Amino acid sequence: MILLKDCRVVARPHLRLAPGEPGTGTDLRGVDILIRGKRIVKIGKNLGFPHPPPAPTVDDDGTRRTVDASRCVVLPGLVNTHHHFVQTLTRAAPGAQDAKLFHWLTYLYEIWKGIDEESVYWSSRLALAELALTGATCSTDHHYLYPRDRAIDIPALQFAAAAELGLRFAPTRGSMSMSRKDGGLPPDSVVQDEDEILAATESAIDRFHDGEPDSMRRVAVGPCSPFTVSESLMRASAELGRRKGVRLHTHLAETSDEDEFCVGKFCRRPLELMEDTGFIGKDVWYAHGIFFNDEELDTLARTGTGVAHCPSSNMRLGSGICRVRDMLDRGIPVGVGVDGSASNDSSDLLGEIRQALLLQRVKYGSSALSAREALRMGSEFGSRLLGFDEAGRVEEGALADLALFDVDQLGYAGASADPVAGLVFCGFDHRAEHVIVNGRFVVDGRKLVGMDEEEIRSKADAESRKLFSKAGIPVY
Ligand SMILES: [Zn+2]
């Protein structure tokens, strides 16, 4: 059991806010949180461990730990809804620094095609480490690049990395089937044929997916985008996901170039293509979703389809501004995604929530998105997109996925009138003090539990240097 004593503030952004109200009324001050096994069992003042101790269970081995949380803001665990872990090895790549999406991809495919088992494993560890250290308890990944000339069991490597770090992990089995010779964007060496993709996706689901509410492993079906997979694969992927009872994910409406591509190749706008292929519904979430018109937003709302908002990537690539305000007003679930690290170039999830708030205000003005709305997107809505309906809230009975930030730090000094909002508004220090997933510490005292941060850094950096060198790009 874990007892979090005297929490400075417990944020509950899932509680509905009155319009124009900052939301401090939804906070709990000076309470304790008791965790037993995988769940929050009690929140209240002056709690202690139960006497006599309850009989041990599979989830509760009888250990007891008390944590002084009097310096901490307690958030529901943050959830990352879009990423490409392998891109952590190609941050700030020289030829992709100032390019827009299609040119950026064309340049980077030539580097990414050199991946191997080591690069997949260490990039996964690196991305997950950054996520955990910035408050993430759960993440997806969208790996879609499978070199033809070597068999790499990417899901197995990624699930191993996630299990070692202790994060809840719900990756997609991504895919690309349409290379340049078919009018798509990627080179032939990194696409697979459709039967191979569907068989490998089904195998990943059978081997790794656990649909229980407190599962640590989920698999979604993730054809990459309308410009890298065929219409038939998009349709077959949706059918496979429904047959297996798993979620569906793809990139959609990211750029105006994509609109033009879809109209030119499929004679339809991207969302029309999704409707025609069945790749839409409450079990689907799209990455980006910038270029939806009003009618299309109504369609998303009517079908319950979600969106992973990736503000840093959208700014970095000059793609545009997602209409998050309009989506939230329609009841569309919008989560936050850091996106791949070749277009962010970090996995700082609390930082990404801050970016979401700021970017909406660029478009819609200063009241466009409040700090607690941004935190709700980054926790409860993200959990919902990945299918974890029992996480993302700090309440009795919920899964014990929590992020604690010590706000008695230089970067938060002066924010004592609203330390919850301070986490979003102050951009200096995003390291979590403690992160708890399924009732277990994964970050403790600002450090990864049982992990050597320096080893992750050095191994991942060595893999990055190898990848750049294989592509003939000099490194410092
Ligand atoms: Zn992406």
pLDDT in tens, the chain (476 residues): 999 999 999 999 988 766 667 778 889 999 999 999 999 999 999 999 998 888 888 888 889 999 999 999 999 999 999 999 999 999 999 999 999 999 999 999 999 999 999 999 999 999 999 999 999 999 999 999 999 988 999 999 999 999 999 999 999 999 999 999 998 899 999 999 999 999 999 999 999 999 999 999 999 999 999 999 999 999 999 999 999 999 999 999 999 999 999 999 999 999 999 999 999 999 999 999 999 999 999 999 999 999 999 999 999 999 999 999 999 999 999 999 999 999 999 999 999 999 999 999 999 999 999 999 999 999 999 999 999 999 999 999 999 999 999 999 999 999 999 999 999 999 999 999 999 999 999 999 999 999 999 999 999 999 999 999 999 999 99
Alpha carbon of 252 to ligand 1 centroid (Å): 9
Ligand 1 midpoint to CA 197 (Å): 19
Cα of 62 to ligand 1 centre, how many Å? Answer: 42
Question: How many angstroms does the Cα of residue 450 sit away from the middle of ligand 1?
Answer: 30
- Within this chain, do residues 91 and 70 fall inside the same structural domain, yes or no? no
- Residue 70 forms part of a structural domain: yes
279, 76, 173, 288: CA torsion to nearest 10: 50
- Nearest-angstrom CA–CA distance, 26 and 21: 10
Q: What is the CA radius of gyration of the chain?
A: 22
Q: What is the DSSP letter of 181?
A: G
Distance CA 91, CA 464 (A): 9
CA of 339 to the centre of ligand 1 (A): 5
Q: Which residues contact 367 (CB under 8 A, 6 or more apart)?
A: 20
Rounded to an integer, what distance in angstroms lies between the CA atom of residue 295 and that of residue 303? Answer: 12
Q: State in Å: Cα 25 to ligand 1 middle.
A: 36
Residue 455: inside a domain, yes or no? no
Q: Would residue 326 count as lying in a domain?
A: yes
- Ligand 1 center to residue 340 CA distance, Å? 6
Secondary structure letter of residue 440 according to DSSP: E
Q: For residue 225, report the distance from its CA to the centre of ligand 1, in Å.
A: 9
Same domain for 54 and 95 = no
Cα(338) to centroid(ligand 1), Å: 9
State the distance from the centre of ligand 1 to the C-alpha of 56, rounded, in angstroms: 43
- Centre of ligand 1 to C-alpha 428, Å, is 26
Q: Is residue 115 part of a domain?
A: yes
303 alpha carbon – ligand 1 mean position (Å) = 22
How many domains does the structure of the chain reveal?
2
Neighbours of ion ligand 1 (CB under 5 A): 287
Whether residue 150 sits in one domain with residue 45: no
Please tell me the predicted confidence (pLDDT) of residue 406.
98
Domain stops at, among 360, 386, 412: 386
How many angstroms separate the alpha carbon of residue 218 from the centre of ligand 1? 19
Distances (CA, A) of 261 to 239, 268, 269, 270: 24, 9, 9, 9
Phi, psi of 40 (to 5 degrees): -80, 120
6: left (phi over 0), alpha (psi -120 to 50) or beta: left
Q: How many Å lie between the centroid of ligand 1 and the Cα of residue 101?
A: 10
| Whether residue 334 sits in one domain with residue 224 | yes
Q: Rounded to the nearest whole angstrom, what is the distance from the C-alpha of residue 226 to the centroid of ligand 1?
A: 13
Whether residues 303 and 356 fall in one domain = yes
pLDDT of residue 18: 67
Q: Are residues 346 and 409 in the same domain?
A: no
Residue 399 C-alpha to ligand 1 middle, in angstroms?
Answer: 28
pTM comes to 0.97
The rounded Å distance from CA 142 to ligand 1 centre is 7
Whether residue 102 sits in one domain with residue 37: no
Q: Do 30 and 129 share a domain, yes or no?
A: no
Are residues 354 and 223 part of one domain?
yes
The residue among 267, 292, 194 whose CA lies nearest residue 235 is 194
Q: Choose the final residue of a domain: 356, 386, 416.
A: 386
Give the domain range for residue 151.
Answer: 78-386
Q: Do 125 and 259 belong to one domain?
A: yes
Residue 458, in any domain of the structure: no
Q: How far is the CA of 82 from the centre of ligand 1 (A)?
A: 6
How is residue 403 written in tokens?
């992020």
40 domain-assigned: yes
Do 124 and 185 have their domain in common?
yes
215 and 294 assigned to the same domain: yes
For the chain, how many residues are written?
476
Round to whole Å and give the CA distance between 408 and 422.
Answer: 12
Q: Residue 30's domain is classified under what CATH number?
A: 2.30.40.10
Measure the CA–CA gap between 16 and 391, rounded to whole angstroms: 17
Rounded to the nearest angstrom, the distance between the alpha carbon of 157 and the centre of ligand 1 is: 20
Residue 18 CA to ligand 1 center (angstroms) comes to 34
Ligand 1: centre distance to CA 409 (Å): 33
Residue 395 lies in a domain: no
- Asked whether residue 461 is assigned to any structural domain, the reply reads no
CA of 368: how far to CAs of 78, 84, 325, 353, in Å?
21, 29, 6, 14
CATH for 334: 3.20.20.140
